[in-house]
Structure formats: C-alpha cells, structure tokens
C-alpha cells in the first residue's frame, strides 16, 4: 500500500494515513491539498507546485478570484444567447446596411453584456 501513496505523488500526501482511522483528518490544513493535486517537474527533475483551483474551492474560502467574479456574466451571456436563438422578442434592427433579427432593446442588451465580458 505504501507504493500507492508514492505513486500518487501529491505533496504532503505521500504517506499512508495512520491507524486508527478517524472521521476527521489530523493533518494540518488538509483541505488545501484539494487545490494542489497536480505535480509538475522541470527539465532538471525538480518538483514544482501547480495551483489548480476549482470554483467551489474559491466559494468555500470566499476567495473572489476573477474566475469566480466572471460566473454571473457568463451565465447572463448564455441566457441572452439562448433567448436570441429561441427567437425571444423577434423584431428587426437595421444598422450599417445590415439586418439583425432582434429588436433594438435586445440588441442593446446583447451589446452591453458582450462588452461587459471584456472587463
């Protein structure tokens, strides 16, 4: 079983848990390992720590990274695209000699949402 923990190659989780097993881990900051499970090595064979946070990890720690702050904008953009695809409020807008099958207020909303994604 010891070879499994060595093969797993996760920093600070390279040894088997001590018996008797308990419901709560006894290692310091045990939850932090969830965001550091990928091991990387440079050409010289030296280990490097790779941070691979996932959104729930940021929610759990109330850590407002840009990938967390962007989630509402992405959901709004997906909802707007779905509304346009399904033909919500079908009208026509003419601009620069082009015809868009969307009403002017929907066009303005799409422009604001897509422009907001750049931030």
Q: Are 80 and 113 in contact (CB under 8 A)?
A: yes
* Peptide bond just before 20 cis, omega within 30 deg: yes
pLDDT of residue 93: 67
CB count within 10 Å of CB 91 equals: 12
Residue 7 pLDDT: 81
Residue 106 CB neighbour total at 10 angstroms? 19
The pLDDT averaged over each successive group of 10 residues in the chain (119 residues) is 75 72 68 74 83 76 81 87 73 74 78 82
Please tell me whether residue 118 adopts helix, strand or coil conformation: coil
Whole-structure pTM over 0.85, yes or no? no
Three-point CA angle 33, 36, 38, nearest 5°: 130
Residue that the structure tokens 């509304």 belong to: 83
């Amino acid at each position: 079983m010891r070879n499994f923990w060595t093969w797993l190659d996760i920093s600070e989780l390279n040894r088997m848990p001590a018996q008797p097993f308990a419901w709560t881990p006894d290692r310091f900051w045990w939850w932090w390992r969830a965001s550091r499970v990928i091991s990387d090595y440079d050409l010289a064979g030296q280990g490097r720590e790779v941070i691979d946070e996932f959104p729930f990890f940021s929610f759990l720690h109330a850590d407002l990274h840009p990938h967390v702050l962007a989630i509402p904008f992405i959901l709004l953009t997906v909802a707007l695209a779905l509304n346009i695809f399904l033909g919500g409020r079908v009208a026509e807008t003419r601009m620069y000699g082009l015809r868009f099958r969307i009403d002017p207020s929907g066009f303005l909303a799409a422009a604001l949402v897509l422009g907001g994604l750049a931030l």
